[in-house]
Structure 1
């Protein structure tokens, strides 16, 4: 081989060596996450604070002091005179329907009060030849009681929760005072009035249906004022 040929071959080999691509550099490893970021990723985001539960307001205790006192003369016991055409079922034995001392409940519209005192209870019936009218009895008794200074506290009985909380005592009462028992189911139609006197309170509970009704009259000391 001539010197020129050897020289050309060396030049070509040198050029090939210079053009050979370098090995690709390995990509640099990503830096480890910062400690705070790693902890934040591991701890789940805190749930937004729940709204505070709003407790239902407690029913205000009954305050007899808010009822105007009445000095109007009361009829003879049991104070409630039925309208013309109606009578107490045991009218011939009014004393037998009265108790000198008994414990009875009355619903004020927000509180069940247990009272001790004199009571009367009986059924209400129409006279012979008279058709019983729920509307007539209720309207006339409302007028009669309010003319004595009575104030109506409620037109319905207590709710189921109140009944459950007093179930044993209410069931015992309903057995003893069966003439007015229908007024003491929860959710039933029943009117409750109170006549506040200077030294006592007179309570009237009326339940009346399509063909008859019942009444409870209770005379008790004035309830204690609610605690502040």
Structure 2
């Protein structure tokens, strides 16, 4: 072999060795091509994390109200709106109760398991203490309860519905809160409010009472007897 050819062979070998080293440097040590591809595929297939607050409010559980579980009352009813207040207290419109009555309205009542809508005659007004009398939430609530039970009424709940029920009926409940603004707290979720029903032979009388520490409010709705739930 001539000296020139020997030099060409040596140069070619150096070049090939350099190319092999660059290829080795581009691939990390101990990296398997199959593992790298699998990792990329896994990263692509992972679902995106759900956005905060995207979870839907669970649907409220409904327990149908059975009017047949309430005894029929035959007690003599006082003048409308039927509920007598204790001494020292009066409705805000005591001199004009008719102005606080709607001959036909639609209001919800919370039975403890169902938001039941009642269509019929509706009264609502604030309860205030008279001059010389200090308002007592306990006194008014106790006497209202006794007055309703004397008419054969039954208390169904002492609290309002939960947040899920409110969200499921938000527009309708907000409309009621605007129309019957004295009863706003009774139509907000997780609030103190008593709901009663007086079952008559031909109708149902619903009473909702709510109170703060310095004033109360009462709603009375009179409408048809609700349909009993279907038996399975």
Does residue 162 of the first structure (1) align with residue 165 of the second (2)?
Answer: yes
1:161-215: CA deviation from partner (whole Å, max 9, x where unpaired): 0000000000001100011111111000000000000000000000011000111
* Paired residue secondary structure (2:182): helix
SS at match of 2:95: helix
Q: How does 1:99-118 map to 2 (within 5 A)?
A: 99-118=102-121
Unaligned runs of 5+ in 1: 1-55
User: Could you tell me how far 1:60 is from its partner in structure 2?
Assistant: 2.4
Q: Please state which structure has a larger fraction of its residues in helix.
A: 2
Number of residue-to-residue matches in the alignment: 173
Structure 1 residue 225 corresponds to structure 2 residue 228: yes
Give 1:22's aligned residue.
none
Paired position in structure 2 for 1:187 = 190
Q: TM-score, normalised by structure 1?
A: 0.74
> Quick one: distance in 2 between partners of 1:96 and 1:59?
35
Q: Is the 8 A contact 2:60 2:165 kept in 1?
A: no
Unaligned regions of 5+ residues in structure 2, if any? Answer: 1-58
User: Segments of 4+ in structure 1 off by > 2 A?
Assistant: 56-60
Residues 77-116 of structure 1 aligned to structure 2 (within 5 Å) = 77-116=80-119
Counterpart CA distance in 2 for 1:217 and 1:92 is: 18
User: 64, 79, 85: which one pairs with 1:76?
Assistant: 79
RMSD: 1.3
Contact 2:205–2:220, Cα closer than 8 Å, also in 1? yes
For the Cα contact (< 8 Å) 2:196–2:207, is it kept in 1? yes
Work out the CA distance in 2 between the residues paired with 1:99 and 1:57.
30
Deviations 1:65-90 (A, max 9, x none): 11000000000000001000000001
Looking at CA atoms only, which structure, 1 or 2, has the larger radius of gyration?
Answer: 1
User: 1:57: how far off?
Assistant: 10
